[in-house]
């Protein structure tokens, strides 16, 4: 079980630590505002802020 703070709200998800941040946001937390585009870090449609820095969530694991 992992815990995430997204936009000031605490969430828990029963996922592996190496799960994709994008798919944890979309599929587990139902935060579908984060979009899937290319899946290879090129298009930017999955961009989220992580600790104040813009990151491509498709290329990140949910736990750094």
Q: Contact positions toward ligand FES, by CB under 6 A? A: 36-39, 41-46, 56, 58
d(CA 19, CA 7): 20
| Nearest approach, Cβ of residue 32 and ligand FES (Å) | 13
Which one, 19 or 43, has the nearer CB to ligand FES?
Answer: 43
**1-33 burial: b if 16+ Cβ within 10 Å, else e:** eeebeeeeeebebebeeebbbbbbbbebbebee
Nearer to ligand FES, 12 or 50 (CB): 50
- In the complex, minimum distance from the CB of residue 1 to ligand FES, in angstroms, rounded to a whole number: 25
């Amino acid at each position: 079980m992992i815990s995430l703070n997204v936009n000031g709200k605490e969430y828990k998800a029963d996922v592996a630590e190496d799960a994709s941040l994008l798919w944890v946001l979309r599929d587990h937390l139902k935060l579908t505002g984060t979009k899937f585009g290319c899946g290879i870090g090129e298009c930017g449609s999955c961009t989220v802020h992580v600790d104040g820095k813009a990151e491509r969530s498709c290329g990140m694991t949910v736990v750094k």
